[in-house]
Structure 1
Amino acid sequence: MPRRLLAFFILMLFLLASCQGQAQTLLPTPGLHRRTITPSPTATLTPTGTPTPETPPTPMPTITSTPNPFAELYIDALTQRSYGGGVLQIESLIENDSAFERSLFVYRSEGLNLYGFMNIPNGEGPFPVVIILHGYVHPAEYSALAYSARYADALAKAGYFVLHPNLRGFGASENDDNPVGIGDTIDILNLIGLVRSQAGVPSPLEKADGERIGLWGHSMGGSIALRVLVIDQQIEAALLYAPINADEAINLEHFEFDGRGNPKIDIPPEVLQGLSPIYYLDRISVPLSIHHGEKDVSVPIEWSRKLCLDLGMLNDEVVCHFYPDQPHTFKNSGDTVFIQRMLDFFNRYMK
């Protein structure tokens, strides 16, 4: 082999070996290289648990007015009611006078048995009716025949059919709630209704004239009579004998009880107005006769003087009599004069 060719061949082998050594240096051996990754902070979610149902809004309370327990007892309400029903019955004969017969009677009112006596004149009738409403006497000491029978007897002898009921809690009459005498008022209106329905038909009231009914009221009975007058305008005439006040607020202020022996109760002034006859005097058009003793220490005579003035401005037929030296219940000559004036008054307007 020529020398030039051999030298060229050796040079090429050298270069080839150099190139392979460089390739091994420049190309690193492949391996598993992992890049370290720092995790970014992740937001922590706080568990909320079971979702609480949304509470509905609390409704506004409905404003309702408290029922007025006296609403059905107002004079205007009592005027709208009907009265009577049932029957009046004779329980027993008390006595038979030469001029009249006295009997014990009973009737029902508001579920109560109410008793009293009636004087029926001898004769055919019909006779005008006078209903006597007694005053307050302690129930343990009450006796109708001891204090008011003389007035009933005088009327019966003069030809009047007289009914003398014992008010609630007196005598054998049953008792119940009776604020400022409203219960008594209803009872008397029921009695009047019975007279009108049973008069002239076979009954204990057969001899009564249901078209001619008058009222006679002493003390608390006078106040009841006055309230009846503003409710029932078909009454023919009324006599008031030392009546307590027609304004119930004054009675409650003045008396230890309510003027009728009942415990005082707290009644708002505006309610008392609806229960008091004084605010309805313009409804009274019947003849009135008012009597009061100047020595009365139970009911101030000034009350009757004012009532006479108030009624006199509304009614031409109001007559008032004041008795010197006479107490709450008249005595002796004063009582004699009173009885005669009573008879003259009823004879004038009911016969």
Structure 2
Amino acid sequence: MRRFVAVLALVLTTSACSGTEEPGSEPTPSPPTGAATSSADGATETATPAPAAHPVSLAALAQTDFNGGDLRLGEEVARTAGHTQYAVNYRSGDLRVSGRLAVPDGDGPFPTVVLAHGYIDPAVYVNGQGMTREREWFGEHGYVALHVDYRGHAESGPDRSGGLDMRMGYTEDVINAVLALRAWDGPVDDERVGLVGRSMGGGVVYNALVAQPGLVDAGVVFAPVSSDAVDNFERWIRPDPARDDVAARILRRYGEPADEPAFWDGISARSQVDQITEPVLIHHGTADDSCPVRWSRETAAAMRRAGVDVTLRIYEGEGHAFGPQFDLSMERTGAFLTQHLGTA
């Protein structure tokens, strides 16, 4: 596995459309900020320091010192023939974040996945909601699986951003979940770790792969939101009367996308996919009436142009929740993770 490498700067790029698999390639490193260089006549020059990252951005996440750890098992909440599930919590920044942990029977160590669920109103969300099928599938197939509740959900500490952190806090919680699992004394093989996200959680997985390349070994997303933050804002936040106040506060703080493209690019994985070093598998149905399949086509195309090893799987007639073809999508996920994480 590529060991965890903190990224010091992110390079912004642009994108367009399609989606097949090509070999990945490493991004060209930028010179250090303020580094001394030599001119043609031998004189020493000092490079202009890069501008500071906006505090709400993937670049800022790339410069964060994450502290995920202190994973605590709570009560046993489920048991099957092949695995046991527990309520858990762990440290993420100055918060404790709750979740559900599936642990296979046996001694391990086991390959491991962190699960990032889709949008559910935090006011009604309960511990472990949103990816119960996936969590059980992974537990039964020999994976440790940590389902992250996110800040502001279930028993987690509060989300103090008021919706103004643009999902960066959720991304921080997922990154810290990986570190907490590695620090745990349970049966985790920390050389075989992946991220799996659904819908909004797919966007969180994109963010984590961009902000912390080398953290994990592979990423899988199902029916993901757009990798362009503007698409998501225009689809769900601006037109929703229940979110009028949130939309107004976002626009007052950060400006209209047309007026402040640098900010909106800075929170969009699409413009920074050249930072991704891990293989990515994207599942999307053609009948998805929540997240249009074209978003995944555009994301896969941007990744492919950037040299990312990306596979886009299209499911004819499948909707957002993946009903009839859920088993097929999980079989393909298992094969993909076996290829990149090893045999469970």
TM band (smaller chain): 0.7 to 0.9
- Pairing partner for 2:232 from 229, 251, 265: 251
Counterpart of 1:165, as a letter, is: V
Runs of 5+ consecutive residues of structure 1 not aligned to the other structure: 1-67
Q: How does 1:21-32 map to 2 (within 5 A)?
A: none
CA shift for structure 1 position 141: 4.5
Q: Which residue of 1 aligns with 2:322?
A: 330
Q: Which residue of 1 aligns with 2:207?
A: 227
The answer to whether residue 99 in structure 2 is matched with residue 113 in structure 1 is no
Counterpart of 1:142, as a letter, is: Y
Match of 1:173, SS state, is coil
Q: How does 1:183-194 map to 2 (within 5 A)?
A: 183-194=169-180
- Checking the alignment, whether the CA contact within 8 Å between 1:84 and 1:189 is kept in structure 2 is no
Aligned residue pairs: how many? Answer: 276
- Checking the alignment, whether the CA contact within 8 Å between 1:248 and 1:275 is kept in structure 2 is yes
Counterpart Cα distance in 2 of 1:346 and 1:258:
38
Q: Which residue of 2 aligns with 1:339?
A: 330
The answer to whether residue 222 in structure 2 is matched with residue 241 in structure 1 is yes
- Checking the alignment, whether the CA contact within 8 Å between 1:290 and 1:304 is kept in structure 2 is yes
CA shift for structure 1 position 169: 2.6
Deviations 1:212-263 (A, max 9, x none): 210001111011100100122121001111111111122212223699x893
For the pair shown, the structure with the greater C-alpha radius of gyration is 1
Q: Higher helix share goes to which structure?
A: 1
- Checking the alignment, whether the CA contact within 8 Å between 1:84 and 1:192 is kept in structure 2 is no
Counterpart Cα distance in 2 of 1:283 and 1:113:
29
Counterpart Cα distance in 2 of 1:76 and 1:316:
19
- Checking the alignment, whether the CA contact within 8 Å between 2:58 and 2:168 is kept in structure 1 is no
Q: How does 1:114-263 map to 2 (within 5 A)?
A: 114-143=97-126, 147-176=130-159, 177=161, 178=163, 179-198=165-184, 201=185, 206-234=186-214, 235-256=216-237, 263=246
- Pairing partner for 1:306 from 276, 294, 298: 298
Q: Which residue of 2 aligns with 1:275?
A: 267
RMSD, aligned CA:
2.4
Change (3 A) 1:132 1:230: same
CA shift for structure 1 position 142: 3.4
| TM-score, normalised with respect to structure 2 | 0.74
Counterpart of 1:246, as a letter, is: S
Change (3 A) 1:224 1:330: same
Change (3 A) 1:89 1:316: closer
Match of 1:113, SS state, is strand
With CA pairs under 8 Å and 6+ residues apart, which has the higher RCO, 1 or 2? 2
> Sequence identity, in percent?
28
- Checking the alignment, whether the CA contact within 8 Å between 2:66 and 2:93 is kept in structure 1 is no
Counterpart of 2:328, as a letter, is: V
Counterpart Cα distance in 2 of 1:305 and 1:85:
33
- Checking the alignment, whether the CA contact within 8 Å between 1:251 and 1:258 is kept in structure 2 is no
Counterpart Cα distance in 1 of 2:238 and 2:151:
16
Counterpart Cα distance in 2 of 1:215 and 1:238:
5
- Checking the alignment, whether the CA contact within 8 Å between 1:120 and 1:156 is kept in structure 2 is yes
CA shift for structure 1 position 69: 12
CA shift for structure 1 position 307: 0.9
- Checking the alignment, whether the CA contact within 8 Å between 1:292 and 1:321 is kept in structure 2 is yes
